Amino acid sequence: MPRVRAWFCRLAGLFRKNRRDAEMAEEMQTHVDLLTERNMAAGMSAEAARNAALREFGGVEQIKEIAREQRTWRWADEFLQDIRFGARMLLRTPGFSLLAILCLTLGIGTNAAVLSWIEGILFRPYPLVPHQDRMFAIIGTTRGVEGHNGLSYPDFLDFEKNSTLFESFIVDKITGTTLSVGDRAERASCGIVSANYFDALGVHPILGRGFTREEGIGRNAHPVTVISYRTWRDRYNFDPNIIGRTQYLNGVQHTIVGVAPERFHGTFVGYSFNFWVPVSMQETFDPTGYKLEERGARWIEGYAFLKPGVSRQQAQSELDSIAQRLENDFPEIDRGHEVELFPLWKTPFNGAGNMSPTLAITMAVVFLVLLIACANVSNLLLARSLLRRHEMTMRLALGAGRRRLIKQLVTEGLLLSLIAALGGIAVAYWCRNALVLAFPEPTAGIVIDFPGQIDWRVLAVSTGICILATVVFALMPAIQASHVDLSGALKTDGGGVVSGTSRSRLRSALVLVQVALSFVLLAGTGLLLQSLSKMRNASPGFATDVVSTGADLFSAGYKPDRAKTFVTLLLDRVRTIPGVESASVARVMPFSYNVFSSAPIEVDGYQPAPTERPEGDYIQIGDDYFATLGIPLISGREFTRNDDENSPLVAIINETMAAKYWPGKDPLGQRLKVRDSWMQIVGVAKTTNYRTKLEKPMPFFYVPMRQNFFVQNTFLIRTRESLGAVMNAMAREIHALDPTLAPIAPSRLQEQIDRISYAQRLAVTLVALFGGMALFLAAIGLYAVMSYSVSQSTRELGMRIALGAGARDILRLVLSRGLRLTLAGVALGGIAALLLTRLMGTMLYKVSPRDPVAFGLALIILILVALIACFVPARRASRLDPAHVLRV
């Protein structure tokens, strides 16, 4: 208790300082007076009595000082003093203070905003889902084979049933369909999800309900759907009576049972879903067949929530043991198949996995920006420390303790960084929303709604770094002062920095570092931008201006026979539309999220390794497909109209597949077994990209649409006409065949490619943004240093002018020093960049990490910026009036 009281007294002492000081003075005065009186009573004269009393009492001020120490914490007292003094110093040089605070604020703010944002994408990608720290992606892998495949539904159920460490498992398989409401048809993305999906995620539909347990069971037994908020808004106009309405989806009438909340877009990073159906409807939405009872059909992508306190390792080892048991129970099917849990940010089957390398680079870039900001402020502080050298020396000479000086400088640094930290929080808060404005225009179907919560840990780290840098460099004057010969330093003032004395070496080093870091950033940004444009311009192997459109046969309830006739007729009509060069049909278009077909294959004369189970992805296409998409055939022929139900089964393979299964042989005429049917190879096509431009060449084959018909398909048209014209022509032709059908809005394949590569474009935008910011900060740094150099060496410059140097000479002198620094920095940065950009290798698409264009551009930009930054102070220097300068 007394301790607490003493603490309060001291605290109170801090604030009642003046009153207490007055009381203390009065009390001691009384004491002295009393002593004086006593002395006078003993017979001394008034003056002698007073002198004796004072002598006896001792040094009043010292006693007061000691007494004060008893009352308050001295450090706190001094701290307040330092803060007051620091604030005065900052106000005395407002330009410096503003610049320093601006740099730090930008550094801290953007750092916190971007890192929080990234942290959100990586660790909490789904805004409305609680407990994402316990949510993991679950996916199948094959022993000894790179990459991943899906899980089969029977296996999935076994994992769910036999595990104890998991709270829930959810199935989440992205698929696409066509949604027609009224006379408008649109491609829509759909999630095939387990019945517990919404409950397990903790997402509550705003209207209606999620799925019930029963709705997950029975082959195609429960045509119900939960629609997204956007679908409700855009397609149903916020219809309040939406629950219970029916909607044709893939030819089956579904009842809408719920509307998801506005910010719930599904569990697929960067993509937004239009509706969800329970897993029982799998066959309806997966054109490759009924799979719910087939243990060998691996198609499920899913998530698992661990119970609280369970680690990923524990959960993984439980899954491993279950997988082991399944292998034993079903050796034919499950041999070599395993499952793996991934943290959300490594989710292999959605945008998250694609984004993480780009995000890592963004993070590095932002961190570099922070470092540059710190270097900047350090620079400013150092520059000022020269100005304050005189002050420090004076204070030392007057007897100030070195510790006290250091404390005061630290306080000033702290003050600076604290103001900046506050500013940084404001900037972070503001950036969080503003950042979205800088994002590239999202293509339809993509929603940018990443949680932009400011992460306090991130903010703390960036602030910490800034404070450290500020304080360390704020100490410079004190350290320099301690090396100073007092009398010497008091006599001379700032030396000629233009000539580069040892004092300015540290500052030059900082500018050097800054320029070097900026160079690394600029070069890196250049590489990424170039890679992006190369990737954008690179041909995926087919013509990207081909238009994809079609009719929504599924929603209209077409059965295969009727659909086949319709497709044949429509294709004939489309080919006669003026401006159409060629047209074909395919089950899915390339780069779509719709799955290609996939099946186990056997090849005549190819002996697979014991653990290998050859599988192949393929697509069903119509005649003229290769001509329409501009994919060259290496040998053999296209499918023709005659490759139909009545003719022998045929297939076309790509080069990669030919090289893998028929190395050194001509595959033409050879046989390939897909599932249970043997097909004869009639052609070899050039390998293209199928899903993304970054993928490795993969084996792929094509089968004729007429021998493997699906109702759901897309028309591909090569034409020079506009999309609007195509739409009109398609509507006319489709209505001529069936007036009730809705045409699907046409789009070019490029749009789909852009959609897939959105994550990369986003990251590049971010990197470019921060590269620019780094450049700006570096420019400020250079400007500040040159500016101070000039103001420090006015005497020297004035002398030169007085001795006959012209304005041009002075300009050249100052500029050349700035440029020398810049060039040295660039050289340093060049070396660093050469080492660092190698790490970006996997991110770069057909761009060398040492690309001379990117490096050259970075060099030119930096030198231009340096010229501008140095020109202002140089001009100021050239206009010095020697008479005025030298008199001071």
List 9, 46, 145, 736, residue binding another protein (CB under 8 A): 9
Minimum CB–partner distance for residue 61 and another protein (Å): 11
Cβ closest to another protein, residue 6 vs residue 460: 6
Cβ closest to another protein, residue 27 vs residue 320: 27
What is d(CA 806, CA 587) in angstroms, rounded to the nearest whole number?
Answer: 78
Minimum CB–partner distance for residue 3 and another protein (Å): 9
Cβ closest to another protein, residue 217 vs residue 400: 400
Minimum CB–partner distance for residue 412 and another protein (Å): 23
Cβ closest to another protein, residue 35 vs residue 409: 35
**Cα 67 from chain centre:** 58
Count Cβ neighbours within 10 Å for each residue of 750-783 and write b for 16 or more, e otherwise: bbbbbbbbbbbbbbbbbbbbbbebbbbbbbbbbb
Minimum CB–partner distance for residue 8 and another protein (Å): 9
Upper half-sphere CA count for residue 284 (Cβ side, 13 Å): 28
CB atoms within 10 A of CB 219: 12
Minimum CB–partner distance for residue 82 and another protein (Å): 17
List 5, 92, 720, 887, residue binding another protein (CB under 8 A): 5
Minimum CB–partner distance for residue 20 and another protein (Å): 9
853, two tokens: 């264009």
Cβ closest to another protein, residue 13 vs residue 818: 13
CB atoms within 10 A of CB 145: 12
Minimum CB–partner distance for residue 69 and another protein (Å): 6
Q: If binding is defined by CB under 8 A, does position 59 make contact with another protein?
A: yes
Q: Pick from 586, 581, 591, 587: which is nearest to 541 by CA?
A: 591
SS3 743: strand
Minimum CB–partner distance for residue 409 and another protein (Å): 21
Minimum CB–partner distance for residue 9 and another protein (Å): 4
Cβ closest to another protein, residue 10 vs residue 335: 10
Tokens 């004269």 sit on residue: 45
828, two tokens: 């340093």
What is d(CA 811, CA 801) in angstroms, rounded to the nearest whole number?
Answer: 11
User: What is the Cα Rg of the chain in Å?
Assistant: 38
SS3 551: strand
Cβ closest to another protein, residue 55 vs residue 696: 55
Within 8 A by CB and 6+ apart from 390, the residues are: 489, 490, 493
CB atoms within 10 A of CB 671: 15
Residue type at 59 in one-letter notation: G
Minimum CB–partner distance for residue 363 and another protein (Å): 46
Site string for another protein, 19-58 (x = CB under 8 A): ----xx-xxx-xx-xxx-x------------------xxx
Q: Is 502 exposed, middle or buried (0-12, 13-18, 19+ CB in 10 A)?
A: exposed
SS3 267: coil
Minimum CB–partner distance for residue 46 and another protein (Å): 15
SS3 638: coil
CB atoms within 10 A of CB 865: 20
Cβ closest to another protein, residue 54 vs residue 627: 54
Minimum CB–partner distance for residue 885 and another protein (Å): 48
Minimum CB–partner distance for residue 399 and another protein (Å): 16
In degrees to the nearest 10, what's the CA dihedral of 662, 665, 669, 673? -10
Q: If binding is defined by CB under 8 A, does position 671 make contact with another protein?
A: no
Interface region with another protein, contact rule CB under 8 A, candidates 59-67, 335-343, 454-462, 626-634: 59-67
Cβ closest to another protein, residue 70 vs residue 533: 70
Site string for another protein, 67-96 (x = CB under 8 A): x-xxx--x----------------------
Minimum CB–partner distance for residue 41 and another protein (Å): 10
CB atoms within 10 A of CB 18: 8
Cβ closest to another protein, residue 27 vs residue 581: 27
Minimum CB–partner distance for residue 27 and another protein (Å): 5
Residue type at 576 in one-letter notation: T
Cβ closest to another protein, residue 33 vs residue 133: 33
- Concatenated DSSP letters of 161-221: HH-SSEEEEEEEEEEEEEEEETTEEEEEEEEEE-TTHHHHHT---SEE----GGGGSSTT-
Cβ closest to another protein, residue 2 vs residue 488: 2
> How many residues of this chain bind another protein (CB under 8 A)?
28
Q: Pick from 781, 105, 102, 98: which is nearest to 379 by CA?
A: 781
Cβ closest to another protein, residue 50 vs residue 564: 50
Within 8 A by CB and 6+ apart from 787, the residues are: 872, 873, 876
80, two tokens: 């307040």
- Concatenated DSSP letters of 398-456: TT--HHHHHHHHHHHHHHHHHHHHHHHHHHHHHHHHHHHHHSPPPPTT-------PPPH
List 66, 76, 835, 864, residue binding another protein (CB under 8 A): 66
Residue type at 265 in one-letter notation: H
- Residues 295-354 interacting with another protein (rule: CB under 8 A): none
Cβ closest to another protein, residue 52 vs residue 418: 52
Minimum CB–partner distance for residue 68 and another protein (Å): 8
786, two tokens: 């040159």
Asked whether the beta carbons of 392 and 477 are under 8 A apart, the reply is yes
Interface region with another protein, contact rule CB under 8 A, candidates 65-73, 157-165, 265-273, 748-756: 65-73
List 44, 63, 87, 436, residue binding another protein (CB under 8 A): 63
Minimum CB–partner distance for residue 78 and another protein (Å): 11
Asked whether the beta carbons of 227 and 275 are under 8 A apart, the reply is yes
Q: How far apart are the first and last CA of the chain?
A: 62
Cβ closest to another protein, residue 53 vs residue 672: 53
Q: Pick from 586, 553, 597, 560: which is nearest to 287 by CA?
A: 597
CB atoms within 10 A of CB 640: 15
Cβ closest to another protein, residue 59 vs residue 95: 59
List 18, 62, 241, 842, residue binding another protein (CB under 8 A): 62
Cβ closest to another protein, residue 59 vs residue 464: 59
Interface region with another protein, contact rule CB under 8 A, candidates 66-74, 188-196, 209-217, 713-721: 66-74
Minimum CB–partner distance for residue 31 and another protein (Å): 5
Count Cβ neighbours within 10 Å for each residue of 220-233 and write b for 16 or more, e otherwise: eebbbbbbbbbbbe
Cβ closest to another protein, residue 71 vs residue 388: 71
- Residues 767-826 interacting with another protein (rule: CB under 8 A): none
φ/ψ (deg, to 5) at 622:
-90, -175
Q: Is 709 exposed, middle or buried (0-12, 13-18, 19+ CB in 10 A)?
A: middle
Kindly list the residues in this chain that would bind another protein in the complex (CB under 8 A). Answer: 2, 5-6, 9-10, 23-24, 26-28, 30-31, 33-35, 37, 56-59, 62-63, 66-67, 69-71, 74
